[in-house]
């Protein structure tokens, strides 16, 4: 079962050269990073001269199942769907499983992250605005 802290990367996420991550498919659009914690990934990305950004966005969703793992996977999958498509990573911040009459309900909270080479998310937008602004 995936446990916090864990990192999910969108399929096709561009990573720095030489960064070797063991990834396991998690649904159609995401993979879970198996061999690095968020802190380890942050350090490796920054050592490569890239940026691992924390986005001011989080999403919590519920999932249910007969087992803790099934409920957690459903909750995580539902939260990942809510991650904006322009961002390529998410960090599992919390899981809380409750038991009710033979089934489990899990609440998963994901925080949006983003990996990129540039230091600014809106660099291209900023440049366009500056070029259009009268001096």
Q: What are the tens digits of pLDDT across the range 68-97? A: 999 999 999 999 999 999 999 999 999 999
| Domain span including residue 113 | 6-132
pLDDT at 38: 96
Residue 21, in any domain of the structure: yes
Residue 73, in any domain of the structure: yes
Phi/psi at 99 (nearest 5 deg)?
-110, 135
pLDDT at 128: 40
d(CA 72, CA 55): 23
And the tokens for 5?
């802290």
pLDDT at 71: 98
7 contacts 38 by C-beta, under 8 angstroms: yes
Residue 115, in any domain of the structure: yes
The rounded mean pLDDT for the chain is 90
Residue 30, in any domain of the structure: yes
How many domains are contained in the chain?
A: 1
């Amino acid at each position: 079962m995936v446990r916090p802290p864990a990192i999910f990367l969108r399929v096709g996420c561009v990573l720095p050269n030489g960064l070797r991550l063991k990834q396991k498919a998690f649904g159609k659009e995401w993979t879970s990073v198996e061999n690095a914690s968020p802190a380890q990934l942050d350090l490796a990305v920054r050592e490569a001269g890239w940026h691992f950004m924390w986005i001011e966005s989080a999403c919590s969703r519920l999932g249910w199942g007969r087992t803790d793992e099934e409920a957690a996977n459903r909750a995580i999958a539902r939260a990942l769907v809510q991650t904006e498509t322009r961002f390529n990573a998410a960090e599992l911040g919390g899981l809380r499983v409750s038991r009710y009459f033979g089934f489990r309900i899990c609440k998963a909270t994901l925080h949006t992250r983003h990996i990129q080479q540039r230091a600014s998310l809106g660099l291209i937008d900023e440049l366009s605005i500056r070029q259009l602004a009268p001096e």
